[in-house]
Structure 1
Amino acid sequence: MTDSRTTQMKELMVRTIYCEMLGYEATFSYIHAIKLAQQGNVLEKRVGYLAVSLFLNESHELLLLLVNTVLKDLQSTNLIEVCMALTVVSQMFPKDMIPAILPLVEEKLNHSKEIIRRKAVLALYKFYLIAPNQVQHIHNRFRKALCDKDPGVMSASLHIYLQLIQENPESYKDLTASFVTILKQVVAGKLPMDFNYHSVPAPWLQIQLLRILSLLGKSDQR
């Protein structure tokens, strides 16, 4: 596919996304969305990935054609390509494809950029929801994410912990002090201003921490 054709395809893909948003079926364009994600430049790939995430679901047969592209982009040195791949992985990858993707996603927990670490945590959260047995071996990595210096990565890990603690609170009682410390820091306004909502420090984060603490403290007066 030439540069001019991929540029034209990008513009057409935006229109097919709009058509689907209006309720018109554009199934003929699904394969072209995958091709755009595979062969375009960074901007064109973004449109292709966006279209794929909107058009396809976990059980769609065309999703198989995207696996190799995602694997390649997860190993890219381009941060945008890695971000796009992690976003698609966290949105729509079925559990039978997790073994192929998991090592690369796990590796991204050590990435130097916080946005990559955050997206990797969210992808692992999705994996845990659909195939908990496949991520049992990396529970200790979740603890590292909870202590991440970036508040975005830390807050992303709370999704996983809320799920884990709902299922087995006793196994995570030792983290109570950590959750209390994080809550105190949030209430004291230690997080960046971006987390504030109408001058309230990270209200959704506070609620999530309180939910976690209520589960840990249920039937435990101490």
Structure 2
Amino acid sequence: MKNFQKPPFQEKAIAIGFTLGVHALAIVGLLYLGLSKPPEPPKKITTVLVNPADLAIPVQETETTSTQVAEQIQTTQEPEVTAPVIPSSPTPPPALTKSTEAIEKAKAEAAEKAKQQADAKAEAAAKAKQQADVKAKAEAAAKAQQQADAKAEAVEKAKQQADAKAKAEAAEKAKQQANAKADAAAKAKQQADAKAKADAAAKAKQQADAKAKADAAA
């Protein structure tokens, strides 16, 4: 029987060769990617609007320029029979018109909003001023009322004090008069008692004298 199994060194050599091949392909791919130019971005398309007034050239100037150019330049090409038609009044793009209308509309709305805000601010200021005036008037009226009440209270208190003083003085005067009257009555009584005693003593003396005379005569 034949042995078809390869020797171990041959299998190892095949594995090493396969590994080297894979690495070589990877290195070549990386070099290709590194040296290749990156893809160019898409070019921006710019639209230029031409004013018809800039395209209008005087006929005389055009003819003179054409003659001078014809003298200086010789060409074998025949001029074109049909020239391109340039519109005299280009129609503005719809997008630009809509954008302009939107800008004008936004400006008008902003102006109207600013006017409304200014009116509201002025109205609020006027209302605040009215409220401040009403408050100041109310405070002034309340202060005047307080002053009037205080003045009336002071007048009433002074009147009460005057009445009390008058009553006290009248009572004191009446008391003094009563005391004087009592003193006079007591003095009059004393005088009457003294007189009565003197009269009685004189009368008793007279009677005693008369009796003594009568006794002596007997």
TM-score strictly above 0.5: no
TM range (shorter): under 0.3
TM-score (norm. length: structure 2): 0.14
> What is the TM-score when the length of structure 1 is the normalising length?
0.14
The higher radius of gyration belongs to 2
Q: Larger relative CO (CA 8 A, sep 6+): 1 or 2? A: 2
